[in-house]
């Protein structure tokens, strides 16, 4: 027959394994379901360059039609699309530059840009009509020359040849290194930085053409769709520094603000300069991450590889939730309410399910990368902060033996205990939900951008899950053996620290979502794990919550002291005062009835304080 401790250990281990399954299921399902396929080859799927030129002509005339209908913004976007999505995406730009000369390709680009710029203003009908006709004819003539070039393949085969050349060059570069860093998928971080730079430069062009909002939107695409989603931010934080991440994030904000501001001022000079500074930062960080021969250490290779990224993402995002959930479960066991632990697991399960649903919604509605994600994360973090503050203060109030014994007696009232349990279940839900959706999106990006390394991603995930379970079990099994007062003091202190961390992280997420204005403090260090960022707003929020936490702790201490004094018999108070005056306890006082009663009460309290006093029967644990 199993002993009581052994009998209690089995369900806990089973519950822990169930927790891992709950974590695995939504992440595996949603991340796999949301992983987009590789980009389509439709832009290069042409037999001849004449066919590619026909697509360019079609898009140019479509944009002209929008302009004639009065849609200036749509026309400008159409001309830009004709260049980027047809002329350039089909590799016609590269083929023209290679075969007919760079000056011809540059002349075409300038004419595309002139059409886009003219489309923003009314009254340019004739200019645009003549410009479209002239450019379309030039592109068609260039395509005819390309098709007549004997040793030049058509768009489809040309694209395959270019891909093979790029792959060969990348292999040579990687082979020259002592350690390989693949960046995201088959792209180095330098390539990712170049893609961000292209988007930012397009944003500058939009702003200079008079549409600062459109320019800022493109910069946002670079930030949310590349810097955050592809793991550039997390990798820089791990391999370079958190302060560098904050510096770059602030520069993104500066560029966006400059673009929006120039709509009213008309000054585009600052926009170009700030954008140049941002793209320089990105290029420098990418070069540092990619490294050179002999520069990539094993630690950096781990941090930037698929396994390391998957491991660190889960560990980072799940650690705070595990700490909260483990502390809450330990409290319920300590209170003899083991049968209520299932509500906490229910909160965890609902948090994971909600994370998967929200990640799916963001993928469908906002392409998984937008300010909406940051706003949601910020709101949930602040809600969790309030719950943590309440729970921390409540646990601190139970840190005295007298308060705890009084609570154990009062908890038989179902309304009180049931309400408290549901509050704790809500806390576990928020703790998991806060990080869950973001975790799913990170894994979606890892799987989509490195399909060849999916095994490494899931190995990293499994290692991270194992680490979280180990942490959970460590807290779960050691906390119930800690005497009451230290347990509640340590638990409430841990939650109080998380209150301050969540305050900084929540406000920072709102800053990233542009909900709260940001005031950057240059030179201030960044500690992401502590929620410390170089912004006046985040630091002010943390300082305010630190004051609240300390204030509540002081109020709780005063109340406990008053309650202890009021509960103490008059003779015991006199005895305590005598001890305070003389610095010692006279054992002869215990010979009196009142003294013996006080001594016995003190001894009983000490027994409970050391974990050896009155406890609930094992059947209640």
Q: Does residue 344 carry a pLDDT above 80?
A: yes
**Do 21 and 353 meet the contact criterion of CB atoms below 8 Å apart?**
no
> d(Cα 492, Cα 33) in Å, to the nearest integer?
40
**Residue-level pLDDT at 29:** 42
In angstroms, the Cα distances linking 168 to 162, 270, 306 are: 10, 40, 22
Q: How far from the centroid of its chain's Cα atoms is residue 350's Cα?
A: 20
Indicate the SS3 state at residue 2.
coil
Is the model more confident about 501 or about 542? 542
**Rounded average pLDDT over 160-166:** 71
**Residue-level pLDDT at 129:** 92
- For 526-537, write each residue's pLDDT tens digit: 887 688 888 899
Domain boundaries along the sequence of the chain: 13-36+340-475+484-556, 42-298, 568-620
**Do 235 and 189 meet the contact criterion of CB atoms below 8 Å apart?**
yes
- For 576-616, write each residue's pLDDT tens digit: 555 455 444 444 444 444 444 444 444 444 444 444 433 43
Q: Which of 194, 196, 177 is nearest to 292 (CA)?
A: 177
- Count how many Cα atoms sit within 13 Å of the Cα of residue 177 in the half-sphere of its side chain: 18
**Do 229 and 445 meet the contact criterion of CB atoms below 8 Å apart?**
yes
Q: What is the largest CA-CA distance in the chain?
A: 118
> d(Cα 522, Cα 52) in Å, to the nearest integer?
50
Stated as kind and residue range, the H or E segment containing 251 is helix 242-265
Q: Does residue 544 carry a pLDDT above 70?
A: yes
Stated as kind and residue range, the H or E segment containing 555 is helix 536-567
Res. 84 pLDDT band, cuts 50 70 90: confident
Res. 539 pLDDT band, cuts 50 70 90: very high
DSSP state of 100: T
Is the model more confident about 540 or about 361? 540
Is the model more confident about 302 or about 252? 252
- Count how many Cα atoms sit within 13 Å of the Cα of residue 407 in the half-sphere of its side chain: 21
Q: Which of 172, 108, 190, 111 is nearest to 145 (CA)?
A: 108
Angle, CA of 446, 452 and 455, to the nearest 5°: 75
Exposure class string for 585-594: b at 16+ Cβ within 10 A, else e: beeebbeeee
> d(Cα 532, Cα 514) in Å, to the nearest integer?
18
**Do 78 and 62 meet the contact criterion of CB atoms below 8 Å apart?**
yes
Q: Which of 451, 449, 343, 325 is nearest to 20 (CA)?
A: 325
**Residue-level pLDDT at 304:** 52
Q: Which of 548, 460, 556, 462 is nearest to 502 (CA)?
A: 548
> d(Cα 301, Cα 293) in Å, to the nearest integer?
13
Q: What's the token pair of residue 204?
A: 């500058």
Angle, CA of 593, 594 and 598, to the nearest 5°: 120
């Amino acid at each position: 027959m199993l002993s009581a401790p052994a009998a209690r250990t089995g369900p806990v281990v089973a519950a822990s394994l169930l927790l891992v399954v709950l974590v695995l299921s939504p992440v595996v399902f949603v991340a796999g379901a949301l992983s987009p396929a590789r980009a389509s080859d439709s832009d290069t799927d042409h037999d001849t360059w004449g066919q590619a030129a026909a697509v360019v002509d079609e898009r140019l005339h479509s944009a002209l039609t929008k302009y004639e209908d009065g849609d200036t913004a749509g026309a400008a976007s159409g001309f830009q699309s004709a260049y980027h999505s047809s002329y350039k995406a089909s590799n016609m730009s590269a083929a023209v530059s290679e075969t007919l000369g760079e000056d011809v390709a540059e002349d075409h680009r300038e004419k595309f840009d002139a059409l886009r710029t003219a489309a923003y203003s009314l009254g340019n009908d004739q200019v645009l009509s003549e410009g479209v006709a002239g450019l379309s004819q030039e592109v068609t003539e260039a395509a005819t020359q390309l098709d007549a070039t004997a040793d030049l393949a058509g768009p489809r085969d040309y694209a395959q040849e270019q891909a093979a050349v790029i792959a060969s060059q990348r292999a040579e570069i990687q082979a020259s290194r002592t350690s390989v860093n693949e960046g995201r998928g088959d792209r180095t971080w330098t390539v990712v930085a170049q893609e961000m730079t292209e988007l930012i430069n397009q944003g500058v062009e939009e702003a200079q053409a008079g549409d600062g909002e459109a320019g800022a939107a493109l910069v946002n695409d670079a930030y949310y769709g590349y810097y955050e989603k592809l793991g550039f931010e997390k990798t820089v934080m791990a391999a370079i520094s958190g302060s560098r991440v904050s510096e770059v994030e602030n520069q993104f904000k500066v560029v966006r603000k400059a673009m929006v501001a120039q709509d009213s001022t008309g000054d585009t000079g600052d926009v170009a300069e700030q954008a140049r500074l941002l793209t320089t930062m990105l290029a420098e960080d990418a070069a540092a991450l990619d490294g050179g021969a002999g520069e990539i250490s094993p630690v950096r290779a781990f941090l930037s590889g698929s396994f390391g990224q998957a491991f660190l993402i889960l560990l980072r995002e799940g650690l705070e939730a595990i700490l909260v959930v483990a502390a809450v479960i330990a409290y319920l066991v300590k209170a003899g309410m083991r049968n209520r632990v299932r509500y906490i697991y229910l909160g965890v399960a609902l948090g994971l399910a909600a994370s998967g649903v929200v990640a799916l919604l963001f993928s469908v509605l906002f392409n998984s990368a937008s300010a909406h994600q940051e706003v949601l994360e910020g709101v949930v973090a602040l809600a969790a902060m309030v719950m943590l503050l309440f729970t921390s203060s409540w646990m601190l109030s139970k840190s005295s033996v007298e308060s705890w014994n009084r609570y154990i007696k009062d908890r038989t009232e179902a309304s009180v205990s049931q309400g408290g349990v549901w509050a704790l279940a809500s806390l576990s839900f928020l703790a998991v939900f806060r990080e869950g959706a973001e975790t799913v999106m990170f894994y979606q990006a890892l799987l989509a951008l490195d399909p060849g390394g999916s095994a490494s991603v899931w190995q990293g995930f499994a290692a991270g899950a194992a680490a979280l379970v180990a942490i959970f079990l460590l807290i779960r099994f050691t906390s119930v053996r800690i005497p009451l007062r230290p347990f509640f003091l340590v638990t409430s202190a841990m939650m109080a620290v998380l209150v301050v961390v969540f305050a900084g992280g929540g406000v920072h997420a709102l800053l990233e979502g542009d909900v709260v204005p940001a005031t950057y403090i240059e030179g201030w260090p960044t500690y992401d794990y502590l929620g410390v960022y170089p912004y006046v707003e985040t630091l002010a929020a943390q300082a305010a919550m630190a004051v609240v936490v300390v204030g509540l702790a002081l109020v709780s201490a005063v109340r406990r002291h008053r309650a202890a004094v009021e509960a103490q018999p008059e003779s015991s108070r006199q005895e305590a005062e005598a001890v305070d005056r003389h610095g010692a306890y006279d054992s002869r006082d215990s010979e009196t009835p009142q003294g013996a009663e006080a001594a016995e009460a003190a001894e009983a309290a000490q027994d409970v304080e050391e974990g050896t006093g009155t406890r609930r029967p094992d059947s209640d644990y």
